[in-house]
């Protein structure tokens, strides 16, 4: 009993201290461990299995749109990084520099990639000659490094895992279409698989990617009312092509610059899953992304026939395509329940002697704790339905939470009041000037999250300066 209490008590309540709750869940659900390498984490099996499922689902969706995977070097020579002015300004202050190879100093230092636009550009400048070579729709799965000062597991670490797509096109229209297409892939993935609703929109110039003409983003809202940038897709126009001299001979026999895009999603989405769906008992994983969907927990397992029946059920459920494990360790059922809840396994199936005698089992949903008695013979048919309902309900619940924490501000007074007292998204009009954006950051501590594709007219004037408004913007505090 002491151990059971310890497991549950060890989590800080999310309402008391959300940041500590997050750290507790990340550790207690065994997603990561800290390392001797400051700012870098070790991703443990339970965490990495979630990333593998994210990879698998995203990669499949990418390939359906014609994406091909490649691999570029992890180091960038300094001279290569410096060719695009905005890009180097954005990234140079936060890269790790390799200065020695073996026992020798390098002639030119190289940075560990913080992102690979420069390497793909270098590659494309050699690989693209004719319109026949276009489009190039490449992606790589890799790790990148940004020398952050303050770090948090999954959300901001010096090294993180991601995919970065880099494409080259013959026309500006095609590049723009690909940029939006990939943003939609991300948005659909988040909603359908992670059960996280997102707002799609465009970043302001202040918030866009270093070197991009336009950055599109999907923004999600965490349980504590802070926003999380969840995936971005950039249209570079021909800016990089000019800096890296990527030209092709078009059908009309003229030499032209390509138009490029890039887009990425990272391990921070594991942080999003935790902060959107988790509760005071730990992690809650959406069934579609959960490495284990069903945890069979035998009750009084030492009695004859119990473990055999559990094994039989496990085999049946696996054959039905479910991801299942049986907890047959020698700990108490209560301890096992707590652990299943901490790890966020979507449902547990409780099976004791009386249940088995009655030919039934008790299914408990992780999100609602609803108990559903199901005939053992029906488990393979019923569990997929229960998991589907849970997946839908989780998205719906997250959407309701997001909508309930999305506020409208008509003027600065309203805006500051919301920013101070009501964590969430703030919808407010904007004149388009950087000055007002800076002022909202200074006075209310919020940043522009995006100019949503779905515009609304809240008023005719900028919430800040009162001049005519150009865009409705989502504002908020963000991770």
Question: Applying CB under 8 A, does 255 fall inside the site for a copy of itself?
Answer: no
Out of 4, 78, 94, 174, the residue judged to bind a copy of itself by CB under 8 A: 94
Q: Does 98 bind a copy of itself (CB under 8 A)?
A: yes
Residues between 132 and 161 with contacts to a copy of itself, criterion CB under 8 A: 138, 142-143, 145, 147, 158-159, 161
Distance in Å, CB of 355 to a copy of itself, minimum: 28
Residue with tokens 């589907």, as numbered in its chain? 388
Q: Is the peptide bond before 135 cis (omega within 30 degrees of 0)?
A: yes
Q: Among 92-100, 278-286, 332-340, 379-387, which window interacts with a copy of itself (CB under 8 A)?
A: 92-100
Which position among 1, 2, 16, 126 is part of the footprint of a copy of itself (CB under 8 A)?
A: 126
Whose structure tokens read 């939470």? 401
Q: What is the DSSP letter of 44?
A: P
Assess 127 for contact with a copy of itself (CB under 8 A).
Answer: yes
Q: Does 110 bind a copy of itself (CB under 8 A)?
A: yes
Q: Are 451 and 204 in contact (CB under 8 A)?
A: yes
Scan for tokens 């200074």, then name that residue: 442
Contacts of 408 (CB under 8 A, 6+ apart): 414, 426, 427, 428, 458
Q: Which is nearer to a copy of itself, 163 or 448 (CB)?
A: 163
Measure the CA–CA gap between 121 and 88, rounded to whole angstroms.
14
- Determine if 103 is a binding residue for a copy of itself (CB under 8 A): yes
Cβ atoms within 10 A of the Cβ of 298, count?
27
Q: Which is nearer to a copy of itself, 315 or 404 (CB)?
A: 315
- 352 three-state secondary structure: coil
- Region near a copy of itself per CB under 8 A, out of 87-95, 296-304, 338-346, 464-472: 87-95
For residue 115, the 8-state DSSP code is: S
Q: What is the smallest separation between the CB atom of 104 and a copy of itself, expressed in angstroms?
A: 8
7 touches a copy of itself by CB under 8 A: no
Report the residue number, 30 or 192, with the smaller CB distance to a copy of itself. Answer: 30
Q: Which residues of 225-252 are buried (b: 16+ CB within 10 A; e: fewer)?
A: bbbbbbbbbbbbbbbbbebbebbbeeee
Tokens of 71: 């691999």
Query: Taking the CA of residue 426 as centre, how many other CA atoms within 13 Å lie in the half-sphere pointing to its CB?
Result: 30
Euclidean distance between CA atoms 362 and 296, whole angstroms: 10
Binding mask 35-74 for a copy of itself (x = CB under 8 A): xxx--xxxxxx--xx-xx---------------xxxxxxx
Residue 306 tokens read as 């119990």
Rounded to a whole number of angstroms, the minimum distance from the CB of residue 230 to a copy of itself is 20
453 is a site residue for a copy of itself (CB under 8 A): no
Under the binding rule (CB under 8 A), the answer on residue 2 touching a copy of itself is no
Least distance between a copy of itself and beta carbon 372 (Å): 31
Nearest partner of 455 among 478, 474, 438, judged by Cα: 474
> In the complex, which residues of this chain contact a copy of itself (CB under 8 A)?
33, 35-37, 40-45, 48-49, 51-52, 68-77, 80, 93-103, 110, 112, 119, 122-123, 126-127, 138, 142-143, 145, 147, 158-159, 161
């Amino acid at each position: 009993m002491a151990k059971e209490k310890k497991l549950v008590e060890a989590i800080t309540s999310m309402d008391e201290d959300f940041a500590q709750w997050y750290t507790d869940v990340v550790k207690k659900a065994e997603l990561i461990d800290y390392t001797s390498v400051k700012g870098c984490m070790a991703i443990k099996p339970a965490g990495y299995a979630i990333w593998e499922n994210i990879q698998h689902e995203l990669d499949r969706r990418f390939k359906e749109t014609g994406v091909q995977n490649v691999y570029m070097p992890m180091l960038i020579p300094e001279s290569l990084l410096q060719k695009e002015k905005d890009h180097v300004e954005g990234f140079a202050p936060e890269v790790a520099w390799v200065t020695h190879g073996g026992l020798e100093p390098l002639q030119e230092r190289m940075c560990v990639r913080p992102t690979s636009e420069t390497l793909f550009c270098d590659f494309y400048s050699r690989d693209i000659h004719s319109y026949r070579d276009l489009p190039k729709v490449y992606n790589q799965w890799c790790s990148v490094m940004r020398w952050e000062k303050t770090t948090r597991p999954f959300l901001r670490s010096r090294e993180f895992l991601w995919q970065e797509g880099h494409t080259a096109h013959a026309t500006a229209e095609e590049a723009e279409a690909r940029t939006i297409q990939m943003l939609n892939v991300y948005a659909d993935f988040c909603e359908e698989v992670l059960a996280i609703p997102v707002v799609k929109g465009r970043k302001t110039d202040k918030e866009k990617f270093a070197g991009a003409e336009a950055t599109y983003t999907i923004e999600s809202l965490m349980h504590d009312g802070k926003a999380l940038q969840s995936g971005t897709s950039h249209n570079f126009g021909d800016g990089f092509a000019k800096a890296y001299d990527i030209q092709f001979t078009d059908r009309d026999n003229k030499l032209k610059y390509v138009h490029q895009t890039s887009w990425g999603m990272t391990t921070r989405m594991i942080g999003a899953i935790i902060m959107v769906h988790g509760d005071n008992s730990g992690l809650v994983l959406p069934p579609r992304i959960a490495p284990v969907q069903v945890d069979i927990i035998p009750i009084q397992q030492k009695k004859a026939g119990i473990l055999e029946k559990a094994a039989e059920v496990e085999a049946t459920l696996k054959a039905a395509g479910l991801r299942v494990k049986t907890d047959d360790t020698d700990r108490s059922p209560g301890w096992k329940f707590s652990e299943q809840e901490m790890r966020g396994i979507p449902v547990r199936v409780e099976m004791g002697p009386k249940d088995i005698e009655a030919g039934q089992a008790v299914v408990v949903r992780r999100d609602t704790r609803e108990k559903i008695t199901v005939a053992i013979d029906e488990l393979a048919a019923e569990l997929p339905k229960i998991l589907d309902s849970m997946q839908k309900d989780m998205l719906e619940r997250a959407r309701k939470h997001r909508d309930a924490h999305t506020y409208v501000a008509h003027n600065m007074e309203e805006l500051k009041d919301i920013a101070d007292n009501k964590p969430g998204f703030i919808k407010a009009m904007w004149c388009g000037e950087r000055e007002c954006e800076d002022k909202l950051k200074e006075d209310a501590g919020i940043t522009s999250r995006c100019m949503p594709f779905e515009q609304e007219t809240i008023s005719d004037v900028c919430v800040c300066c009162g001049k005519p408004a150009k865009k409705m913007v989502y504002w908020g505090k963000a991770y």
